[in-house]
């Protein structure tokens, strides 16, 4: 493994890994299905065979040279549409994604129109959900991916990166909780399931009580869609498995012998009024501070990708630039568009100036030189930045 100096906007000292597909078995896959009339013609649906069953995947765009794919995984109670449509349809996000192929993964049985699993079906464990993803990577010929996960999906992608680090170039983990459920949590969840409908139980996972009361329009919209769009029996299986998860088993390097942690660049994201805030803070404490950025978003609640897509898009852009991708994007200020928030502008200029190699233009893995603005800090790596925006 080579340690490369990357172009830095958000963070420094990022570790890259050569993608490898060694050891993955050949599998037979069904042909892709074009989307129904009226849907985005640039998207294709696929049912991918994996060691633990079929995965529904939607591909948006086409591969761009050797650049990684952006692979998403949604939270429990949602699917890729409910979780990510607002974010990926945002104008500035489309300016970014035209440089990449996007791969949306739906957890088993959670996609729109999914058939109900038969009686006695064993839903994959969280570890098995992660182990299904190499089949997706292999099927499409991706060398490596940049993952964007929310809640349960963030946990799955983190587990995927721990098991298959050479396949993951970077991670954006929104609302991740690295901890398994204790007995008290399990009892509280069990009691809630007896006194509340499944959609309402899921809503308490997505939103804090304050937001459930104050943002009634958004909450009611998601209550209806969770109840009507996602198969309820399949959702119950996913919900039960997520609440049976184990600790992610990560530790900050140097804190314990042979500590395991995420080796790729990570951006942790949480809203300032999200149920997952405590879990994300703890996850931040367990990751390598030289490769981790912690973004706490103001006024975004439990679904920052839905309520604040502009701020999240801007942060994602700087994250990609820090890895040496997307050397230049159109500045909307020149055409009278929205001006980036002050905090994100400061973040973009924070402590570092960078030189991007030509390799990031032709799509191969980037290599960049990073220099500190302070001569005193020359050669030093920055620690985790916590930014409220």
pLDDT (0 to 100) of residue 328: 53
Q: Which range marks the domain in which residue 138 is found? A: 40-323
* Distinct helix (H) and strand (E) counts, the chain: 14, 12
Q: Tokens 């509340």 sit at which residue?
A: 196
The answer as to whether 345 is a domain residue is no
- Per-residue pLDDT reduced to its tens digit, 103-118: 999 999 999 999 999 9
Number of domains observed in the structure of the chain = 1
The answer as to whether 13 is a domain residue is no
**CATH, residue 304:** 3.40.50.1820
Which position has the higher pLDDT, 312 or 336?
A: 312
**Helix%, strand%, coil% for the chain, nearest 5:** 35, 20, 45
The answer as to whether 152 is a domain residue is yes
pLDDT (0 to 100) of residue 366: 52
Report how far apart, in Å, the C-alpha atoms of 312 and of each of 10, 76, 158, 234, 239 are: 13, 20, 19, 30, 26
CA angle 41, 43, 45 (to 5 degrees): 120
Q: Is the pLDDT of residue 385 over 70?
A: no
The answer as to whether 386 is a domain residue is no
- Name the band, by pLDDT with cuts 50, 70 and 90, for residue 368: very low
3-state secondary structure 50-106: ECCEEEEEEEECCCCCCCCEEEEECCCCCCHHHHHHHHHCCHHHHHHHCCCCEEEEE
The answer as to whether 165 is a domain residue is yes
- Name the band, by pLDDT with cuts 50, 70 and 90, for residue 50: very high
pTM of the model: 0.78
267 - beta bridge partners?
172, 293
Helix (H) or strand (E) holding 46: strand 43-50
pLDDT (0 to 100) of residue 42: 76
The answer as to whether 98 is a domain residue is yes
pLDDT (0 to 100) of residue 191: 62
- Name the band, by pLDDT with cuts 50, 70 and 90, for residue 65: confident
CA angle 95, 265, 259 (to 5 degrees): 160
DSSP string, 233-287: HHHHHHHHHHTTPPP-----BTTBTT-----S-EEEEEETT-TTHHHHHHHHHHS
Q: Tokens 């192929």 sit at which residue?
A: 101
For the chain, the average pLDDT equals: 79
297 - beta bridge partners?
271
The answer as to whether 15 is a domain residue is no
**Which residues lie closer than 8 Å to 194 by C-beta, 6 or more apart?**
none
Are 46 and 54 in contact by the 8 Å Cβ rule? The answer is no
Which position has the higher pLDDT, 266 or 380?
A: 266
Are 324 and 16 in contact by the 8 Å Cβ rule? The answer is no
The answer as to whether 265 is a domain residue is yes
Kindly state the tokens that stand for 173. 């983990």
- Per-residue pLDDT reduced to its tens digit, 283-326: 999 999 999 999 999 888 999 999 999 999 999 999 999 999 87
pLDDT (0 to 100) of residue 184: 59
Are 274 and 205 in contact by the 8 Å Cβ rule? The answer is no
* Residues comprising the chain, all counted: 389
């Amino acid at each position: 493994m080579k340690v490369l100096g990357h172009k830095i906007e958000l963070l420094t000292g990022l570790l890259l890994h050569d993608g490898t597909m060694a050891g993955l078995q050949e599998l037979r896959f069904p042909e892709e299905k074009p989307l129904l009339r009226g849907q985005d013609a640039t998207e294709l649906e696929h049912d991918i065979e994996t060691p633990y069953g079929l995965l529904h995947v939607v591909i948006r765009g086409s591969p761009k040279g050797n650049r990684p794919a952006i692979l998403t995984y949604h939270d429990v109670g949602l699917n890729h549409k409910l979780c990510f449509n607002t974010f990926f349809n945002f104008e500035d996000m489309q300016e970014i994604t035209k440089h990449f192929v996007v791969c949306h993964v739906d957890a088993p049985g959670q996609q729109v129109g999914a058939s109900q699993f038969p009686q006695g079906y064993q839903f994959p464990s969280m570890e098995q959900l992660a182990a299904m993803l190499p089949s997706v990577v292999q099927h499409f010929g991706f060398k490596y991916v940049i993952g964007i996960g929310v809640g349960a999906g963030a946990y799955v992608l983190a587990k995927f990166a721990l098991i298959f680090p050479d396949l993951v170039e970077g991670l954006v983990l929104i609302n991740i909780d690295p901890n398994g459920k204790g007995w008290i949590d399990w009892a509280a969840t069990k009691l809630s399931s007896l006194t509340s409908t499944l959609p309402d139980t899921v809503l308490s996972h997505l939103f804090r009580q304050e937001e459930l009361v104050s943002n009634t329009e958004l909450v009611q919209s998601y209550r209806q869609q969770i109840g009507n769009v996602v198969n309820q029996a399949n959702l119950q299986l996913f919900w039960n498995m997520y609440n049976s998860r184990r600790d992610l088993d990560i530790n900050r390097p140097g804190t314990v012998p042979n500590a395991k942690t995420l080796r790729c660049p990570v951006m942790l994201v949480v809203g300032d009024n999200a149920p997952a805030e405590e879990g994300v803070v703890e996850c931040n404490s367990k990751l390598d501070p030289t490769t981790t950025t912690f973004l706490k978003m103001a006024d975004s609640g439990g679904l920052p990708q839905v309520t604040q897509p502009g701020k999240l898009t801007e942060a994602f852009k700087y994250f990609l630039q820090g890895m040496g991708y997307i050397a230049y994007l159109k500045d909307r200020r020149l055409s009278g568009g929205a001006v980036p928030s002050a905090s994100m502008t400061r973040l973009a200029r924070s402590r570092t100036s960078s030189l991007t190699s030509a390799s990031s233009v032709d799509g191969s893995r980037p290599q960049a030189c990073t220099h500190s603005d302070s001569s005193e800090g020359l050669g030093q790596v920055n620690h985790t930045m916590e930014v409220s925006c």
